[in-house]
Amino acid sequence: MPDLVKQHKIMLSAPGDTEDLCSEAENACHDDEKPAATESSSPEITVVAMGDSLTAGYGLAEEDAYPAKLERRLRREGYKVRVVNAGVSAETTSDTLSRLDWVLSMKPDIVILETGANDGFRGFDPAGPRENIDKILTRLRAVGVLPILAGMKMVMSLGPAYVADFDAIYPDMARKHGVLFMPFFLDGVATRPALNQDDGIHPRAAGYDMVVENILPLVRKAIAQRRK
């Protein structure tokens, strides 16, 4: 059963906020850095995509989920990179935190963190996912991993006060930890039937193409930082 409960159709808060949040983050959301000429002689970069069913690619073949698409795109551009799909359906931020040691055992250079939607759909107090994401980012930074935080926006049916508290988690944590930040993981995908499966929540392969386009500049930037 998918983690993002089917009865909750996406009715997202202020999708137009993405550009404003992007400008507020310490690191620009869009960057055109391409691989240096020395990329071919550099060690392979390991990127671990950590998250719930939105990362796992619920309902799709593994090669159609965004981590596989991201790896293919980066390799076409000349990057020596491996992208590991560490998404687990039905996962909450507590679950993500609990398996962080396993993710770190892969020796990642970069971790793309997409988590929290299930906390929101289950009505968990936003203080919980805020604390868990804070702990995850603290741990990643402490061991020298470069995090990319992907934000989530909660359904408006949960009420404006809850949505405001939940949505604020991600820009707050990005600023606190100074990490690369994608304000909304499903930007340009949510609410578009052609890009989503019948549940209205999980992207189709074409939806993940959009996710890759949105996150690609941040991944390029993280690779450049790791190469320094």
> Is 177 one of the catalytic residues?
no
Q: Under a CB-based contact definition with an 8 Å cutoff, are residues 163 and 154 in contact?
A: yes
Q: Under a CB-based contact definition with an 8 Å cutoff, are residues 128 and 162 in contact?
A: no
> Is 13 one of the catalytic residues?
no
Q: Under a CB-based contact definition with an 8 Å cutoff, are residues 189 and 150 in contact?
A: no
Q: For 143-166, what is each residue's pLDDT tens digit?
A: 999 999 999 999 898 999 999 999
| Active-site residue, from 95, 134, 165, 199 | 199
> Is 8 one of the catalytic residues?
no
Q: For 54-88, what is each residue's pLDDT tens digit?
A: 999 999 999 999 999 999 999 999 999 999 999 99
Q: Which tokens sit at 220?
A: 């390029």
Distance CA 50, CA 1 (A): 19
| Active-site residue, from 3, 53, 167, 177 | 53
Would you say residue 11 has pLDDT above 60? no
| Active-site residue, from 52, 119, 177, 202 | 202
Q: Which tokens sit at 121?
A: 């759909």
Q: For 128-139, what is each residue's pLDDT tens digit?
A: 999 999 999 999
Rg (C-alpha) for the chain, rounded Å, is 16
Distance CA 56, CA 198 (A): 17
b (16+ CB within 10 A) / e for 177-187? bebbbbbbbbb
Query: How crowded is residue 20: how many other Cβ atoms within 10 Å of its Cβ?
Result: 11
Distance CA 7, CA 142 (A): 39
Tell me the β-bridge partners of 113.
50, 149
pTM to 2 decimal places: 0.86
User: Which domains are assigned to the chain?
Assistant: 15-32+42-227 (3.40.50.1110)
DSSP 168: T
Q: Name the more confident of 70 and 33.
A: 70
One-letter amino acid at 221 equals: K
Query: How far is residue 35 from each of residues 106, 219, 222, measured CA to CA in Å?
Result: 23, 11, 11
Average pLDDT over residues 21-49: 64
